[in-house]
A = this chain, B = another copy of it.
Amino acid sequence: MEAKKVILSEKEIPRQWYNIQADMPTPMQPPLHPATGKPVGPDDLAPIFPMNLIEQEVSTERWIDIPGEVLEKLLIWRPTPLHRAYNLEKFLKTPARIYYKNESVSPAGSHKPNTAIAQAYYNKVAGIKRLTTETGAGQWGCALSLACCLFGLELKVYMVKISYEQKPYRQLMMKTWGANCVASPSRETDVGRNVLSQDPDCPGSLGIAISEAIEDAVTSGHTKYSLGSVLNHVMLHQSIIGLEAQKQMEMLGEYPDVVIGCVGGGSNFAGLSFPFVRDKIYGKDVEIVAVEPVACPTMTKGPFAYDFGDTAAKTPLLPMFTLGHSFIPKSIHAGGLRYHGMSPLISQLVLDNLIQPRAYNQLQTYGAGITFARTESLICAPETNHAIAAVIEEAEKAREEGRSKVILFNLSGHGLLDLTGYDAYLKGELSDYSLSEEEMKESLKVLDSLPQPMLK
């Protein structure tokens, strides 16, 4: 019987994170202060993040030690298995060999706890007693709830109201782990009260929730704010995925021809791919594919520009692909991919042609998800289905070319709490959405008033 999966022993868990800033051919552009247009320094970030995480954010050290207490918590579910998708290969009649890294086995059901655990730890050692965050669909809120529970920190989660009501299971998970989760806009911040006074029935948005969480963090004692994607230190913490996958592929005597992940803010994709991007920088022949939704085509359609990380324009300006910070994508089921911007690290690597972005339509991704569930058993998150759509296309191309290609992708999360999307798909009630040139022009107007030194 051929091996279905490769599992590392606990002793083989990586002891250091990989920081791609050490190897990037083009150095990163600094974040800018929106008022002055000048680079932002560590002190500008200190009101919302602890200094140890700010240091990681700007570090160019290649390897950063994973603290023992963080490793101990990661070992609850890590190392995660690397599976070979034999049944999918057979179904597609492809000569390609398809592997996936299974990040859905964490207690929260996704890769998000990899950074949640690290962030909770660094806040704790910095003397912080309480964190705030926002969450859309709820994956990040669940992961940080788990992490805060394990390190004895209080947590307040501002969850977009429409999701709070439509996805009750997610907020119940957070509460089971002891977090305080409220629907946003809430009556507990100035921002929230202000929104509610104008529109008592406001369904909320990620932008409002971020603003509430930041206001809470800067106005409450011993409290900081935590973000689950986009930033450099988040990508750093996720690199454990790719470092494990490299060991596992090596044990099989394999090296991928193509590495695939879905991207919203970019963290699961960066986690798997950055160690392979490093190989590519030093000459290895490997294709790195980042998959986004056609409904939110940040990298495939948007410009590379300075923009705010949040809708409410509270963050520094980040150098990234963006659709404009006030862009609200159509309500596709892959909530985690509905982000107007992109990790600055990933953005720079796309500019340098080290990462190839692609966009897929919602219907194709659900079709891919159903094929995967019915061959490989796992029901994946709608976000993950974007990666699977690209995998299937690559495998079919390999069949047509008669080429025995090695494909590796990140199974970033399970879809057990996202089944309504599958239901709608099976009933034929789902649609595709794309962005017209005019809509995009409109949404990019917000960039005009911001300092844009790179675009000159």
- By a beta-carbon cutoff of 8 Å, the part of chain A in contact with chain B is 1, 3-5, 7, 9-10, 68, 71-72, 75-77, 83, 87, 105, 107, 109, 146, 149-150, 168-169, 172-173, 175-178, 370, 373-374, 376-379, 416-417, 419-420, 422-423, 426
Chain B residue nearest to A5 (CB atoms) is: B10
The copy count of this chain in the complex is 2
* Residue from A4, A416, A420 whose CB has the most chain B CB atoms within 10 Å: A416
**A169 and B420 alpha carbons, distance in the complex (Å):** 8
A-B contacts, 21 listed (Cβ < 8 Å)? A1-B72, A1-B75, A4-B10, A4-B76, A5-B75, A7-B7, A76-B376, A76-B377, A87-B150, A109-B416, A146-B377, A149-B373, A150-B377, A168-B419, A168-B420, A172-B420, A172-B423, A173-B416, A176-B426, A177-B373, A177-B374
**A150 and B88 alpha carbons, distance in the complex (Å):** 11
CB of A178 within 8 A of CB of B3, answer: no
CB of B419 within 8 A of CB of A416, answer: no
A150 contact set on B, CB distance < 8 A: 87, 377
* Residue from A71, A75, A149, A370 whose CB has the most chain B CB atoms within 10 Å: A75
CB of A176 within 8 A of CB of B417, answer: no
Chain B residue nearest to A109 (CB atoms) is: B416
**A107 and B81 alpha carbons, distance in the complex (Å):** 14
CB of A419 within 8 A of CB of B177, answer: no
**A150 and B377 alpha carbons, distance in the complex (Å):** 8
Would A176 and B1 be within 8 Å (CB), given that A7-B7, A107-B379, A377-B150 are in contact? Answer: no
A4 contact set on B, CB distance < 8 A: 10, 72, 75-76
- Smallest distance from the beta carbon of A203 to chain B beta carbons, Å? 22
CB of A107 within 8 A of CB of B173, answer: no
- Smallest distance from the beta carbon of A69 to chain B beta carbons, Å? 10
